[in-house]
């Protein structure tokens, strides 16, 4: 049974919009004030940056593994012929994010 591409696109768009509108107020209440710029404890800001680096690095490494596991079948990896180069670029970016996670 195949899922129609339009349904996938609509679900992806709804998820992206929900994430955009539901996440932003929570982060704004934690870190920002109207006139004072960025505000909040150093511990909270540091934990937020560490989480973003960890999830971003993990996501890039998963994408690098996917580029190797499903070569020539996913147009998101540079193109169908350059899956090796794409996997290397994604792995390097993911590794840099994870290394920076250790130094924050």
pLDDT tens, position by position, 39-79: 567 777 788 889 999 999 999 999 888 888 887 776 666 56
Q: What is the pLDDT of residue 54?
A: 92
Q: What is the pLDDT of residue 38?
A: 55
Band of the pLDDT at 2, cuts 50, 70, 90? low
Q: What is the pLDDT of residue 78?
A: 57
State percent of the chain over pLDDT 70.
70
Q: How far apart are CA 78 and CA 45, in angstroms?
A: 34
55-63: Cβ within 8 A, 24+ apart: 56/94, 56/97, 57/94, 57/95, 57/96, 57/97, 57/98, 57/101, 58/94, 58/98, 59/94, 60/90, 60/91, 60/93, 60/94, 60/97, 61/90, 61/91, 61/94, 61/95, 61/98, 63/90, 63/94
Q: What is the pLDDT of residue 99?
A: 94
Q: Which residues contact 73 (CB under 8 A, 6 or more apart)?
A: 80
Question: What mean pLDDT value characterizes the chain?
Answer: 78
């Amino acid at each position: 049974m195949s899922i129609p591409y339009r349904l996938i696109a609509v679900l992806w768009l709804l998820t992206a919009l929900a994430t955009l509108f539901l996440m932003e107020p929570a982060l704004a209440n934690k870190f920002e004030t109207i006139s004072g710029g960025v505000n909040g404890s150093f511990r909270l800001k540091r934990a937020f940056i560490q989480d973003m680096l960890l999830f971003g690095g993990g996501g890039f490494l998963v994408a690098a593994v996917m580029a190797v596991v499903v070569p020539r079948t996913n147009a998101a990896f540079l193109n169908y012929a350059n899956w090796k180069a794409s996997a290397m670029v994604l792995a390097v970016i993911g590794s840099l994010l994870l290394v920076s996670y250790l130094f924050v």
